[in-house]
């Protein structure tokens, strides 16, 4: 994994490390399913006034993401060290997955790592 000396000073510094912690396609699939389910639960919970769905909108994405880190990638989720950047990076990663551009981004970050 790309190692930074100290803590990243910006999201731009954080992003390559985040990407490399999500090299496995299965990890990205778990994150994508969780994130999209979370947004669906949040919007539906608000519109239908279902507070439990809003709570589930927080639990489901993290449960799937953490499962993938512990059992697919075998690494530590970035959520623990950088919760806001991790959330923002997840949104960006899901957008890249859905648009079919995440594999190229992983390759770009791997080239930086070398």
- DSSP per-residue string spanning 33-60: HHHHHHHHHHHHHHHTT-HHHHHHHHHH
DSSP single-letter state for residue 4: -
Each domain of the chain, given as residue ranges in start order, spans 20-113
The pLDDT value recorded for residue 63 is 97
Does the pLDDT value for residue 2 go beyond 80?
Answer: no
Q: Tell me the whole-structure pTM to 2 decimals.
A: 0.90
* Mean pLDDT in residue range 83-108: 97
């Amino acid at each position: 994994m790309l190692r930074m000396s100290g803590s990243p000073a910006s999201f731009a510094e954080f992003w390559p490390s985040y990407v490399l912690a999500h090299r496995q396609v299965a990890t990205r699939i778990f994150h994508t399913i969780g994130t999209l389910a979370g947004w669906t639960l949040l919007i539906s919970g608000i519109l239908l006034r279902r507070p439990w769905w809003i709570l589930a909108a927080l639990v489901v994405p993290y449960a799937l993401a953490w499962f993938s880190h512990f059992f697919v990638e075998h690494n530590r989720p970035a959520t623990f060290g950088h919760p806001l950047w991790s959330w923002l990076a997840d949104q960006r990663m899901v957008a890249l997955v859905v648009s079919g551009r995440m594999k190229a981004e992983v390759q770009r970050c791997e080239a930086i790592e070398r």
